[in-house]
Chains A and B, each alone.
Chain A
Amino acid sequence: DQQVKQNSPSLSVQEGRISILNCDYTNSMFDYFLWYKKYPAEGPTFLISISSIKDKNEDGRFTVFLNKSAKHLSLHIVPSQPGDSAVYFCAASATYGQNFVFGPGTRLSVLP
């Protein structure tokens, strides 16, 4: 049973529009969340994080929102660019950034 779920395997968005990637989790002990981006033939790279004491964290075009009561987080990319086309993994930790549980990933395609 997956503790971290990304129910959309893929998402296509037009360049310049907003991309919204969703992540749901089941373990109420999770208190730290990360998003990673992965290009083909490369390892995942860190994108943005959020701790459970916040409900929003912003870094340039990337914003992560956390809704603890719903056990849901989302990654917003505005505006989306073709270079954002990648697989995005959501990851959660129950011990403030120690071992993470990863979701299955969402493949984002940003169309020019």
Chain B
Amino acid sequence: DADVTQTPRNRITKTGKRIMLECSQTKGHDRMYWYRQDPGLGLRLIYYSFDVKDINKGEISDGYSVSRQAQAKFSLSLESAIPNQTALYFCATSSSLTSGTYNEQFFGPGTRLTVL
């Protein structure tokens, strides 16, 4: 069973529609992230959350909002989708940094979103 799951895996929608992408994890991690991937640009951070009551904007948060409903769930919303939000979206999780270790992030399989 996948540790980090994303739903839906694929979505086609129209400009102006509200879309929610959901992420769930069974790893028990406290930190969760949303990224988008565009060709030639790598992964860019949209929002991140270090615990249930902590939400932070990333590099490209405009046009997006998030909700951390529980430690295991982190959803990304596009209130009014536009075509340049067409991309591959990844959720990731990690555990709090402890001395001498690194903050490896574990990624979900991705959601391919197309906005027409």
Contacts and interface: CB of A to CB of B under 8 A. Distances in A.
Interface band, chain B: 20 to 34
A103 B40 CA distance: 9
Interface in A30-69: 32, 34, 36, 41-46, 49, 51
Interface in B97-116: 97, 101-110
Contact of A43 (B4, B48, B97, B103): B4
B90 A43 contact: yes
The interface centre, meaning the residue of A32, A45, A99 with most chain B CB atoms within 10 A of its CB, is: A99
The interface centre, meaning the residue of A34, A36, A43, A104 with most chain B CB atoms within 10 A of its CB, is: A43
A43 B45 contact: no
Contacts of B90: 43-44
B41 interface: yes
Interface string A77-105: 00000000000010101001111111111
The interface centre, meaning the residue of B4, B42, B43, B101 with most chain A CB atoms within 10 A of its CB, is: B42
Given A49-B102, A98-B97, A43 B108 contact: yes
The interface centre, meaning the residue of B59, B92, B103 with most chain A CB atoms within 10 A of its CB, is: B103
Interface in B29-70: 35, 40-45, 48, 58-59
Contacts of B103: 93, 96-98
Nearest to B99: A96
B44 A34 contact: no
Contacts of A42: 109-110
A4 B107 CA distance: 20
B48 A89 contact: no
A32 B40 contact: no
